[in-house]
Structure 1
Amino acid sequence: MTIRRSAAAVGAVAFGLFALSACTKPTPLATVTVGKTSVHTEAACYDNGKSLSTADFTKCLNSTPSETVDVSSGDTVHVGVDPAIADKGWVVVVDQQGASGRLTSTYHTFSPDLVNQFFTDSSTGQQKTKVTLTIVENSGAQSYQGVWHFALQLKG
């Protein structure tokens, strides 16, 4: 190998290491699947697995979802999380109301009957056309590590 090639190889390796050091670690992903449609999102709030402050957690709960998935009456909704989320535990909240107990698996499925309940206002009985499904990483004892949001839009 010539000196030029050796120098180029060393330069490429050094540049690659520099580029990798500038990268930030991505947040774990959460996924919602309805039928053949899947949408993924990174966390609205996440601090590398550390507990969020009460103020940050409250602010995150009220943030707007970045991803929307269409849901029809009779659809099943599947929610999946990265193993890093499942290891600590997580809950599903729909429009600020608990929709699951604490989960430790990487996925959870909501039946069509339960999904239909998501779109029914419990106080008026009126049908809603859009709800926010929120995933909260929760290691227990009111310790929250991350928040992920999805909008579920009721079709026709």
Structure 2
Amino acid sequence: MSLSTRVIAAVGAVVVIGAGTVGISIAHANSEGKPEKPLSTLVVGRSTLHAGPTCYNDGKPIDEAAQTKCQKDAAAAVKGGTLPSLDVKVTDKIGVGVDPEVADKGWFAFTDGGQQQRATLASTRTGSTFSGLLPASGLLTTTEKTTVTVVEANEKTGDIIGVWYFQLKNKDAAGQEQQQQAPQEQQSQ
């Protein structure tokens, strides 16, 4: 069975168009350049969220005054609901990733939840770009919102270089809070 000249020409045209599209995409990507700041990625189940650092000093150490300001800015963002966020259920698994440049210097990540009001997502590490996936049930606060903090820190000097904040919105806690409020409202009537 032989292919007709028209079929061969059509396949050739598709290949040429496809190659042209890929070439244009690569050229466009190269012209975009490198991101100004490293990204961190929050993973919840099958959802991901990428964000630049909340606090960053062009790869140089952040002094204590800037760290304090960063924490205040993050607290205001939590209050204002402007932190990058993902929905989570206690049955989900959560992980954090960082750019290779961050992994080369060192990083760690934690939440403001768990049994000790702070749960580790990633211990201090270098070279590894992903924390792995951990059960959300051990990482969340008992309230509707849990803050995830990712810190780039030079393992040798201990200097803080970048800080990312994310927020997890616990959909299970929202339902529990509504159920708890309903009986209280009924009792007050």
The 4+ residue runs of structure 1 with deviation greater than 4 A are: none
Which residue of structure 2 aligns with residue 133 of structure 1?
148
Which residue of structure 1 aligns with residue 124 of structure 2?
102
The structure number with the bigger radius of gyration is 2
**Closer, same or farther: CA 133–74 of 1 in aligned 2, 3 Å:** same
Count of aligned positions: 127
Q: When the two structures are superposed, what TM-score results if normalisation uses the length of structure 2?
A: 0.61
RMSD: 2.2
The reply to whether residue 42 of structure 1 matches residue 63 of structure 2 is no
Equivalent residues of 2:111, 2:140 under 8 A apart: no
SS of 2:58 mapped into structure 1: coil
**Closer, same or farther: CA 58–98 of 1 in aligned 2, 3 Å:** farther
Residues 1-156 of structure 1: matches in 2 within 5 Å? 26-62=36-72, 63=74, 64=77, 66-95=83-112, 97=118, 99=120, 100-104=122-126, 105-112=128-135, 115-120=136-141, 127-140=142-155, 141-156=157-172
Q: Deviations over 1:64-112 (max 9, x none)?
A: 3621011111111121101111010001121283613202210112421
Distance (Å, rounded) in 2 between the aligned partners of 1:97 and 1:61 = 16
Larger strand fraction of residues: 1
Q: Name the amino acid aligned to 1:109.
A: G
Aligned-residue identity in percent: 35
Larger helix fraction of residues: 2
Higher relative contact order structure (alpha carbons within 8 Å, sequence separation ≥ 6): 1
Q: Deviations over 1:107-148 (max 9, x none)?
A: 112421xx212224xxxxxx2211110100011343100001
